[in-house]
Amino acid sequence: MTNVGNSAASRDKAFYLHPYTNLKTHETVGPLVIERGSGVHVFDDSGKSYIEGMAGLWCTSLGFGEERLVEAAARQMRKLPFYHSFGHKAHDPGIDLAEALIGMAPVPMSKVFFTSSGSEANDTVVKLVWYHNNALGRPNKKKIIARQKGYHGVTVASASLTGLPHLHRDFDLPIAGILHTDCPHFYRYGEDGETEEDFAIRMANQLEQLILAEGPDTIAAFIAEPVMGAGGVIVPPASYFDHIQPVLKRYDILFIADEVICGFGRTGSMFGSQTFNLKPDIITVAKALSSAYLPIAAVMISEPIYQTMVSQSEKIGTFGHGYTYSGHPVSAAVALETLKIYQERDIVGHVRSVAPTLQQGLRRFADHPLVGEVRGVGLIAGVEIVADKVTKAPFDPKLAIGGHVARFAQDHGLIVRAMGDTIGFCPPLVITAAELDDLVDRFGKALDATLAMVTEKGLAAVA
């Protein structure tokens, strides 16, 4: 084997296949190697400190180094490091966690099914929806409607639900039976003279037209994030779901709330469903369920869905779905401790108290020459970069201006995420107002550095 060098970066380039990465570029630039974390900061292998403005990947809600979660994992490791839940087997952490989730669900739920990731959870949901309708004798009612720019995962089924072209291209996705309706982003898709209320009504009407065109007896479910995350932190108009939900009821279509990012305090309520008054039949959660300290996710289902599953499993002889790590006892123990911390420390109350610092702080950049829109709720936000503020014209995607903003932010000790030319913010929920002020200041420096680059290269007219 060719000598690849001893540095972490060189060995990474030699052996590690990275997700969501331009693989050719990575061969040249290599990784930012993160060695440790403390609170809302992480540190690279040179000792440089960064504010983790994305909580990792929308997930490390309690920040880095929470000893109670470390101890919860260690205790469970010593007691029962693994057991499964197939064939009538169970363990206390899994039972306790299921009970806790049902107790805190935003609407009445009946049972919890555990997976290891949000992608697996949403993949499971597709199968449960099909199973449910087969049990009801409705073999044609199988199509699932998602939304353009929605994000629901990367497995074959969940990536099909995701409404982002780069997750479909050359993967031969989406699979049959997955449809996409319009994205509820008023800034981008509102028409001249249209109010946000008019826009919300139009979105609901377009959904209904899609249902009618396909045939209501073929549509099984509709899936939506309360706030769209990886699609650009898109906050829907206030009345959007008020208009969408009656359409679903009218045609007996299940509503799936993807709370993978929004769940556990992110939007200023324990669940995004509470922030936007959603009444789902199925809920998926992940990420902040364990503060991402260990992989775990869950699907919560309503009683009517559970009852059809009972009858169908009795007919077949088993419910033929599950994973080796469904409800892994160590992950479940860490998740339980995470939920306890949320309650004891009133994390939702903290989010509500500091969220204005983030939201108002970022809105200070609304007049910046590169900023088209600042949007967000709670401790999640997006800043959309544009080439022309008046026309909302974007930069040529090949310029990767959003990527430059993220790179300049990293230079200033802030990790954010560029989703196209929208910069995402999703800091740990434990972040303080002072730390948020620091985050906003570092982002401002990144914006100014990007503006200087754009101006120097003549990439856009500057007002």
Compute CA distances 31 → 35, 45, 373, 409, whole Å: 12, 11, 30, 16
Classify residue 21: in a domain, yes or no: no
pLDDT of residue 463: 46
- 42 touches 65 (CB < 8 A): no
Q: Where are the alpha helices (DSSP H) in 162-288?
A: 186-189, 196-214, 240-250, 272-275
What is the helix (H) or strand (E) element at residue 314, kind and residue range? helix 303-316
> Is 339 part of any domain?
yes
**Both 293 and 441 in a single domain?**
no
**What is the per-residue pLDDT across 97-123, written as a single tens digit (0 to 9) for each?**
999 999 999 999 999 999 999 999 999
Same domain, 286 and 367: no
**Nearest alpha-carbon partner for 101 in 299, 383, 241:** 299
* pLDDT surpassing 70 at residue 460: no
Cβ atoms of 386 and 370 within 8 Å: the answer is yes
pLDDT digits (tens, 9 = 90+) for 4-47: 778 999 999 999 999 999 999 999 999 999 999 999 999 999 99
Of 229-243, 320-334, 446-460, the range with the lowest mean pLDDT is 446-460
Q: Is 385 helix (H, G, I), strand (E, B) or coil?
A: strand
The secondary structure of 11-39 as a DSSP string is HHHHH---SSS-HHHHHHH----EEEEEB
Q: Are 271 and 378 in contact (CB under 8 A)?
A: no
Q: Where do the H-state alpha helices sit in 329-432?
A: 329-344, 347-363, 401-411
The three-class DSSP label of residue 67 is helix
Confidence (pLDDT) at 3: 63
pLDDT tens by residue, 328-346: 999 999 999 999 999 999 9
Mean pLDDT of the chain: 96
For range 363-382, the mean pLDDT: 98
Which pLDDT tens digit goes with each residue over 234-286?
999 999 999 999 999 999 999 999 999 999 999 999 999 999 999 999 999 99
Say yes or no: 45 and 164 in one domain.
no
On the question of pLDDT at 420 being above 90, the answer is yes
First to last CA, the chain: 55
Residue 41 lies in a domain: yes
User: Within 13 Å of residue 340, how many CA atoms lie on the same side as its CB?
Assistant: 12
Looking at the structure, tell me whether residues 257 and 406 fall in a common domain.
Answer: no
Residue 208 lies in a domain: yes
At residue 418, does pLDDT exceed 80? yes
256 and 111 in a common domain: yes
- Is the Cα torsion angle 402, 404, 407, 412 positive or negative in sign? negative
Listed residues 344, 372, 404: the one ending a domain: 344
Do residue 192 and residue 321 come from a single domain?
A: yes
Domain annotation covers residue 463: no
**Is residue 166 domain-shared with residue 49, that is, in the same domain?**
no
Asked if residue 109 belongs to a domain, the reply is yes
* Short-list 277, 435, 436, CA closest to 364: 436
Instruction: Please tell me whether residues 365 and 350 are part of one structural domain.
Output: yes
| pLDDT for residue 68 is more than 90 | yes
CATH number for the domain that contains residue 415: 3.90.1150.10
- Chain-centroid distance, C-alpha 282: 16
> Tokens 């969408």 correspond to what residue?
244
**Residue 459 has what pLDDT?**
83
- How many domains does the structure of the chain reveal? 2
DSSP string spanning 162-181?
A: S--GGGTTTTT-SPTTEEEE
Of 302, 329, 344, which one is at a domain's C-terminal end?
344
Q: Has residue 12 been placed in a domain? A: no
Q: Are residues 183 and 169 in the same domain?
A: yes
Is the predicted pLDDT of residue 461 greater than 70, yes or no? no
Q: Which two tokens stand for residue 304?
A: 């009517």
Whether residue 10 lies inside any domain: the answer is no
CA pair distance 231, 424, nearest whole angstrom: 10
User: What is the Cα–Cα distance from 216 to 210, expressed in whole angstroms?
Assistant: 9
> How far is the C-alpha of 86 from the C-alpha of 325, rounded, in Å?
10
Which tokens in the block code for residue 364?
Answer: 């200070």
Query: The tokens 């590690």 sit on which residue?
Result: 16
Does 122 lie in the same domain as 41?
A: no
**pLDDT value, residue 2:** 54
CB–CB of 351/265 below 8 Å?
A: yes
Same domain, yes or no: 301 and 217:
yes
Cα 283 to Cα 211: distance, rounded to the nearest angstrom: 22
- Give the range of the structural domain holding residue 301, as residue numbers without chain letter: 68-344
Paired with 37 in beta bridges are: 42
Q: Which of 286, 311, 344 is the last residue of a domain?
A: 344
By the 10 Å C-beta count (0-12 exposed, 13-18 middle, 19+ buried), 347 is classed as buried
Q: Record the pTM.
A: 0.96
Judged against a pLDDT cut of 70, whether residue 207 lies above it is answered with: yes
CATH of the domain at 137: 3.40.640.10
Give the residue carrying structure tokens 């089924």.
Answer: 157
Helices and strands, number each (H, E), in the chain? 16, 15
Looking at the structure, tell me whether residues 167 and 240 fall in a common domain.
yes
